[in-house]
Amino acid sequence: MAFEPIVFRGQPAIRLAPPSGGACVVALHGAQLLSWQTPDGVERIYLSPEARFDGSAAIRGGIPVCWPQFNQRGPLQKHGFARNLPWALEADPSAEPAGRVAFTLGASDATRALWPHAFRVRLAVEIEADSLCVTLQVLNTGASPWSFAAALHTYLRVDDIAEARLEGLEGAQRWDAVRDRKLIETDASLAFGDEFDSVYAAPQAPLRLVQPRGTLEISQSASCTETVVWNPGPALSASLADMPDDGYRHMLCVEAARIDENILLAPQAQWEAWQRLTVL
């Protein structure tokens, strides 16, 4: 069997290890991917060693699912409730290919107390020898339309942020959240040091995270019209209770997002988004 139930830092999780090589771990809490190791044994996802796994807060690192709200852009808790609730392993995982597993979350008394809509969301994780693809599907199961925002808040692991560069955003419209200004990105290769928090109009071509040890290609579906890039830098990292003071040195968030304009989903309609990571 390519997948197996495990306990990861006290949380129920699924480990997926297909014959093609590599492995990943997904927690049932939030359907949050926590680890992706390629066949060479390299960990490609950042998970804070001080992340909370007691269910009291979102897990710092991995790939949190931000839904149905992004950040504090609305009345719900930051980044919505999907990342803070238990998801279910899809009823018949054996129907999935060897390298894929899926999780679902449906409306409940707990979600209706926060957000009075009928829905079903599904997160599928698929790995091949040198790639990972995470797909989010949102279905309106009710009789009335509703709107939402979404993001796959991917924490990528880097050896040293001072040596990492992100390529592919030159010419894109950018909102710099740190300085609250709009501009056009002029750098062909982004470097990081102090806090970096920007929302870009998603480019058509994949991005490239370049490090001395190699390059990771990052692509996303056209349904994600924005790309968010975030690194807390030394000052903010030191203030985060669930991240080491130097945690910023080993991570870079590159997020596939639909946040500037909410999706209006009609009854029984479905929306889908994905992000793919490929080792070059």
DSSP characters over 238-262: HH-TTS-TTGGGGEEEEEEEEEEEE
Euclidean distance between CA atoms 140 and 96, whole angstroms:
23
For residue 226, give the H/E element and its range: strand 226-231
Let me know: does 34 contact 45? Beta carbons within 8 Å. Answer: yes
For residue 133, give the H/E element and its range: strand 131-140
Query: For the CA atoms of 53, 55, 59, 63, what is the dihedral angle to 10 degrees?
Result: 120
Backbone angles phi, psi at 144, to 5 degrees: -130, 150
Catalytically annotated residues = 153, 255
Rg (CA), the chain: 18
Say if strands 119-128 and 100-106 run parallel, antiparallel, or are unpaired.
antiparallel
Q: What angle do CA 208, 240, 165 make, to 5 degrees?
A: 15
Let me know: does 51 contact 60? Beta carbons within 8 Å. Answer: yes
Structure tokens, 201: 């109009």
For 125, other C-beta atoms within 10 Å of its C-beta total 24
Let me know: does 45 contact 156? Beta carbons within 8 Å. Answer: yes
